[in-house]
A and B are shown apart, each in its own frame.
Chain A
Amino acid sequence: MREEFAVKPKEGEPWDVVIIGSGPASLTAAIYTTRGAASTLILAGEKWGGQLMLTTQVDNYPGFPDGIQGPILMMAMRKQAVRFGAEFIEKDVEEVNFLSNPFELFVNRKKYLAKTVIIATGAKTRWLSVPGEERLLGRGVSSCAPCDAPLFKNKRVAVIGGGDSAMEEALVLVKYASSVTIIHRRNEFRASAAMQSRVKNNPKMKIIWDSAVKEIIGEQKLEKLKIWNLKTSQESEIEVDGVFVAIGHSPSTEIFKDKVDLDEKGYVKVFDHTKTSVEGVFVAGDVHDVNYRQAVTAAGFGCMAAFEVIRYLDKNTTVVKNS
């Protein structure tokens, strides 16, 4: 059922808010802006839904006592945003102009106008950047266990990383693979206690501490990894059929370079919880959040940005009367 509170702008007129991205931050913001009667356009990207589209069961999002599948959660959020009148376009933003008033956003040679913008583009997989990785991507190198795990039935795989997402990858893979070797550069995991104990209690899991991948080797497909111990500098090789990279994420901010202030790692610099260096351009979620990076915190940031958008619009909209 659709319940719309805002009138969509006519051709050539600006949207009250354009939200770039389509993860929990974006869609939560859209639920609040549409219910706040702001006309809302979501430029979702061709790969919409964000990181949760690449997960299986999500057990830490409140309200789902038995867990929920990541993609199903995102489809539900999308439906909820659209229910209140958000326009959802599955296209990538190629360029932004934050110097003009209204702001301009370019999508496939089409220009959209916006009184305010929320940047909620999230973050993407950080790769190892070692020789062989790019060439063997999809030929044994992957970053999405829920997508690819069944293809490694009875095969040997490695997971690189030590956080929650590395544990999740390992736990998905262990259902199929004959062995899962986790390679981590430190001697302890960063992951939550719950995830760690599930990994450590599984007899098919092996852990190699203090080590990193130096090279990914294979002709047509992955054959082995060259790894080295960071403490002893000793090199060794392990034979695997798959390697899953889960060493973290980097913010998706390429199109915002020189448009808003970014920090040295590329995250959007945030002021006052939701604001960027440009007045009227707000930010929410993993694209600025280096600390928490959870679905629920992203959703919370989205809500906060939406509130500030509504306040900003109220303050800056002068009523124009037709003479």
Chain B
Amino acid sequence: MATFSVEDHDFDEKVLKNKIPVLVDFWAPWCSPCRMAEPILEELSDEYENRVVIVKVNVDENKNSSSKYSVLSIPTTVLFKEGKEVGRQIGFAGKVAYENLIKKATVG
């Protein structure tokens, strides 16, 4: 499944109340490391289909969500399971780092 955008108004429903773990990518169009992360997150959303949902939150347009989770550096990817943060990756660190993060919610 491809990644999709989540906004402040549906963050609760799409992220926190999701039955499946959700990896939230906080990004902005002007951030070049975010653009490097983009194709990799797209790939992972297919590879981990049905096990993790990957969504994107544009920090320029969704200040509530980004400030609620103290996102002051982008890209920041936060992993949620049953509404709780279970892991966080700050900055773009490549595919392996994202996979290791996803495994925190999908293994065991």
**Chain A: residues with CB nearer than 8 A to chain B?**
45-49, 53-54, 70-71, 90, 92, 108, 137-142, 144, 146-148, 150-152, 220-222, 241-242
Give the distance in Å from the alpha carbon of A142 to the alpha carbon of B35 in the complex.
18
State the Cβ distance, A177 to closest chain B Cβ, in Å: 12
- Given A47-B94, A137-B90, A151-B59, also A142-B36 (CB < 8 A): no
- Given A150-B60, A151-B59, also A142-B73 (CB < 8 A): yes
Interface residues on B, range: 20 to 34
- Check if A138 sits within 8 Å of B94, measured CB to CB: no
Whether B65 is near chain A, meaning CB under 8 Å from some CB there, is no
Whether B32 is near chain A, meaning CB under 8 Å from some CB there, is yes
Q: Which one, B28, B35, B36, B72, contacts A139 given CB within 8 A?
A: B72
- Check if B90 sits within 8 Å of A46, measured CB to CB: no
Give the distance in Å from the alpha carbon of A124 to the alpha carbon of B62 in the complex.
31
- Given A138-B91, A139-B70, A147-B33, also A46-B76 (CB < 8 A): no
- Given A46-B93, A137-B90, A150-B60, also A71-B32 (CB < 8 A): yes
Give the distance in Å from the alpha carbon of A176 to the alpha carbon of B60 in the complex.
13
- Check if A147 sits within 8 Å of B32, measured CB to CB: yes
The total number of A-B Cβ pairs within 8 Å is 71
- Check if A242 sits within 8 Å of B94, measured CB to CB: no
- Check if A150 sits within 8 Å of B30, measured CB to CB: yes
Query: Beyond the given A138-B73, A144-B33, A150-B30, could you list 19 further A-B residue pairs with CB under 8 A, ordered by the A residue number?
Result: A46-B93, A46-B94, A47-B36, A47-B92, A48-B36, A49-B36, A53-B32, A53-B33, A53-B36, A54-B33, A138-B71, A139-B72, A139-B73, A144-B91, A147-B73, A151-B59, A151-B73, A221-B72, A241-B72
Chain B, range 2-52, C-beta contacts under 8 Å to A? 28, 30-36
Chain A residues within an 8 Å CB radius of B104: none
Whether B95 is near chain A, meaning CB under 8 Å from some CB there, is yes
Chain B residues within an 8 Å CB radius of A139: 70, 72-73
Residue of A nearest to B97 (CB): A46
- Given A54-B33, A151-B71, A220-B70, also A138-B76 (CB < 8 A): yes
Q: Which one, B31, B88, B96, B97, contacts A147 given CB within 8 A?
A: B31
Give the distance in Å from the alpha carbon of A79 to the alpha carbon of B97 in the complex.
26
**Chain B: residues with CB nearer than 8 A to chain A?**
28, 30-36, 59-60, 66, 70-74, 76, 88, 90-97
Residue of A nearest to B32 (CB): A71
Chain A residues within an 8 Å CB radius of B71: 138, 151
Chain B residues within an 8 Å CB radius of A144: 33, 73, 91
- Check if B74 sits within 8 Å of A151, measured CB to CB: yes
- Check if A46 sits within 8 Å of B95, measured CB to CB: yes
Q: What are 21 A-to-B residue pairs whose CB atoms are below 8 Å?
A: A47-B94, A48-B36, A54-B32, A70-B32, A92-B94, A108-B96, A137-B73, A138-B72, A138-B88, A138-B90, A139-B70, A141-B73, A142-B72, A142-B73, A144-B73, A151-B72, A151-B73, A151-B74, A152-B72, A221-B72, A242-B72
Residue of B nearest to A49 (CB): B36
Query: B32, B34, B74: which has the most chain A beta carbons within 10 Å?
Result: B32
Chain A residues within an 8 Å CB radius of B33: 47, 53-54, 144, 147
Residue of B nearest to A151 (CB): B72
Give the distance in Å from the alpha carbon of A74 to the alpha carbon of B86 in the complex.
35
Chain A residues within an 8 Å CB radius of B93: 46-47
Chain B residues within an 8 Å CB radius of A71: 32, 35
Residue of B nearest to A45 (CB): B94
- Given A46-B93, A46-B94, A46-B95, also A148-B72 (CB < 8 A): yes
In the A-B complex, the 7 residue pairs with the smallest Cβ-Cβ separation, listed nearest first, are A46-B94, A138-B90, A138-B73, A71-B32, A221-B70, A139-B70, A142-B73
Give the distance in Å from the alpha carbon of A150 to the alpha carbon of B63 in the complex.
12
Give the distance in Å from the alpha carbon of A54 to the alpha carbon of B76 in the complex.
15
Residue of A nearest to B75 (CB): A147
Chain A residues within an 8 Å CB radius of B60: 150
Give the distance in Å from the alpha carbon of A146 to the alpha carbon of B36 in the complex.
15
